[in-house]
Amino acid sequence: MKKRLYLVRHGQTMFNHQHRIQGWCDSPLTEVGKRQAMAVKDYFEGHGISFDHAYSSTSERCCDTLELITDMPYTRTKKLKEMFYGELEAESERLGSRDPKECETYYVRFGGESSNAVRDRMVSALKEIMDRKDHQSVLAVSHGGASFNFLRGIGADMRPYAGGITNCCVFVLEYEDGGFRLVECIANPVTDSQ
């Protein structure tokens, strides 16, 4: 039986707006980020989508996003956290790498995680969640890098995300027989200029 996972990146934060690297460090949602989360809520309500369970990264920006999307109880888990960027946390994005192959080891030299470790953590965590018996329609709020590496881990076509994953986009995935299939990516209509 096919199950559905709705994987959402958190709304825009102060560090996103300032173009800072944001992994395990945190910053608050901006007003744009809050509107993005409300747009996701409106989308789900407008399409009659409901959830039997919800999960969030332990980062405040993800919890705040989830709480704007739904008022249902949810589980916080460190397994959905963003990649750890080590000494580059909160530094300018200019110091980071945008090359997926280079990212496999780039941040390790700064005391951070490899992207493959994040990939494996995310795939394992979301399979564990979706394998639970009463989990048919699940909401999970995570991060851009973590979601990118998850999608890479399940063999999704990564070409559309080469420029990054936008805030509060929604990845709709089917889960069946231990495998994920990306059905669609729903871009958020709220931009920084709104």
Q: Which residues are catalytic?
A: 10, 82
User: What are the residues whose beta carbons fall under 8 Å from the beta carbon of 112, sequence distance 6 or more?
Assistant: 23, 83, 84, 85, 86, 87, 88, 89
CB 9 within 8 A of CB 147: yes
The amino acid at residue 187 is: A
Q: How far apart are the C-alpha atoms of 70 and 54, rounded to whole Å?
A: 9
Q: Under 8 Å CB-to-CB from 181, ≥6 apart: which residues? A: 154, 173, 174, 175
φ and ψ at residue 47, rounded to 5 degrees: -105, 10
